[in-house]
Amino acid sequence: MEFKLKMHYVLESEISAKIKVVRRDLMPTKLSTPKKTMSKLLSRINKRFLLALLVLICVSSGLSIIAGSQWASTVIGSRGNLRVDGVGVYQDANCGVAVTYLDWGTLEPGSAKNITLYVRNEGNHVATLFLATDHWSPVNASSYMALSWNYSGKMLSPMENVGVTLTLSVSSAVINIVDFSFDVIIGAN
């Protein structure tokens, strides 16, 4: 099904002429009372405003329909919670700004998004890190999305940190997912 929108283009001189007419029509006239003048003015403004609003709605709707029919795309909203076990997760290498929430932004099918974090071993023993996910919503989102990272397995001493990049990849075959959420779990062994 194809929708087409007819648009009317008005020359600049025509617009100027119409503006002059509107200004002239809205100028105070020699009516008997200010109440009649105000009533007439409001009536003219309301009609013009409603007409302009109706035209704007029609044009917006038409352009949305045209855009939707010509470009097939899927926008996937996202969010994420971060749970940490025995570690601290930070935005900066100095471990000054803690991270408790990851915003993956808008992802498209077949795309991937990276977020760089700094993970500090806040336990009292040497440890390696692990990454897991949980509580996917919708449940089938985990079939179309995968979270990975570039952590090399390096042993971290207490209070030592390492920069890691988390990568969320979305399958090009993703269907029926508009918004999603999941928990990212980073811990120390």
- Domains of the chain: which residue ranges? 12-70, 77-188
Q: If pLDDT is split at 50, 70 and 90, which confidence band does 83 have? A: low
165 confidence band (pLDDT: 50, 70, 90): very high
- Computed on alpha carbons and rounded to an integer, the radius of gyration of the chain in Å comes to 29
Taking residues 149-175, what's their average pLDDT?
A: 94
| CATH number given to 77-188 | 2.60.370
- Give me the chain's average pLDDT, please: 74
Q: How confident is the model at residue 7 (pLDDT cuts 50, 70, 90)?
A: very low
Selection from 23-37, 42-56, 71-85, 126-140 with the highest mean pLDDT? 126-140
pTM above 0.85, yes or no: no
Give the helix ranges, DSSP H, for 71-177. Answer: 141-144
CB-neighbour burial class of residue 107 (10 A; exposed 0-12, middle 13-18, buried 19+): buried
Of the given ranges (69-83, 86-100, 165-179), which has the lowest mean pLDDT? 69-83
Taking the CB of residue 180, how many other CB atoms lie within 10 A of it? 23
Query: Which pLDDT score is estimated for 1?
Result: 36
